[in-house]
Chains A and B, each alone.
Chain A
Amino acid sequence: MSGVLETAAAVRSGRVSARALVEDTLMALVADPHVAVTRVLHDRARAEADAVDADVAAGRDPGPLAGVPYGVKDLFDLAGLPTTAGSTLYVDAAPAQADAEAVARLKAAGAVVVATLNMDEFAYGFATINAAYGTTRNPHDPSRLSGGSSGGSAAMVAAGLLPFSLGSDTNGSIRVPASLTGLYGLKPTHEGLPLGGVFPFAESFDDIGPFTRSVEDMAAVWQVLSGRDPFTGIKDFRIARLGGRFRENADPDQLAAIDAIAPDAPLVELPEIARARSAAFLVTAHEGGALHRAALGADPMGFDPQVRDRLLAGALLPEALYAEAQAFRAEYRARIEALVADYDVLLAPATPTVAPLVADPRILIDGALSPARADLGIHTQPITFTGLPSLAVPLYRPGRLPIGLQLIGGPGREADLFAFAAKLEADGVTGFSAPQNTGVPAYAGIAGYS
Chain B
Amino acid sequence: MALSYTSSYPAEIMPDTPDQAPVAIPQSADEIAVVATALGLVIPADCAPGVAANLALLARHARNLRGEPA
Instruction: Point out residues on A near B: beta carbons under 8 Å.
Output: 77, 83, 96, 197-200, 202-203, 274-275, 277-279, 281-282, 285-287, 289-291, 293, 296-297, 300-301, 305-306, 308-310, 312-325, 328, 374
Contact B8 A317 (CB under 8 A): yes
Residues in A neighbouring B35, C-beta threshold 8 A: 316
| B29: Cβ under 8 A from any A Cβ | no
Closest to B35 in A: A316
Contact A309 B65 (CB under 8 A): no
| B69: Cβ under 8 A from any A Cβ | no
Contact B5 A291 (CB under 8 A): yes
Residues in A neighbouring B1, C-beta threshold 8 A: 77, 83, 96, 197-200
Residues in A neighbouring B50, C-beta threshold 8 A: 305-306, 308-310
Contact A319 B8 (CB under 8 A): yes
If A275-B65, A290-B6 touch, whether A285 touches B58 (CB-CB below 8 Å) is yes
Contact B64 A278 (CB under 8 A): yes
- 17 of the cross-chain contacts (CB-CB < 8 Å) are A198-B1, A203-B4, A297-B42, A300-B43, A309-B47, A309-B53, A313-B51, A315-B8, A315-B39, A315-B41, A316-B32, A319-B9, A319-B21, A320-B22, A320-B23, A321-B65, A323-B18
Complex Cα gap A285–B65 (Å): 14
- For B2-20 the 0/1 string (1 means CB < 8 A from A) is 0111111100001100100
Residues in B neighbouring A322, C-beta threshold 8 A: 8
Contact B23 A318 (CB under 8 A): yes
If A285-B58, A300-B44 touch, whether A312 touches B51 (CB-CB below 8 Å) is yes
From A199, A282, A306, residue with most partner B Cβ within 10 Å: A282
If A318-B21, A324-B23, A324-B65 touch, whether A309 touches B8 (CB-CB below 8 Å) is no
> Closest approach, in angstroms, between the C-beta of A448 and any C-beta of chain B?
25
Residues in A neighbouring B14, C-beta threshold 8 A: 319
Complex Cα gap A296–B60 (Å): 24
> Closest approach, in angstroms, between the C-beta of A229 and any C-beta of chain B?
30
Residues in A neighbouring B25, C-beta threshold 8 A: 316-318, 321
Contact A301 B44 (CB under 8 A): yes
Residues in B neighbouring A285, C-beta threshold 8 A: 54, 58
Closest to A203 in B: B5
Q: Other CB < 8 Å A-B pairs besides A275-B64, A287-B5, 5 of them?
A: A197-B1, A293-B41, A312-B51, A319-B14, A321-B25
Complex Cα gap A322–B18 (Å): 11
Complex Cα gap A328–B36 (Å): 27
- The list of the 9 closest CB pairs from A to B, nearest first, reads A320-B21, A309-B50, A313-B54, A278-B61, A290-B8, A278-B64, A319-B9, A281-B61, A313-B55
Complex Cα gap A287–B3 (Å): 11
Residues in B neighbouring A301, C-beta threshold 8 A: 44, 46
Complex Cα gap A197–B1 (Å): 5
> Closest approach, in angstroms, between the C-beta of B69 and any C-beta of chain A?
13
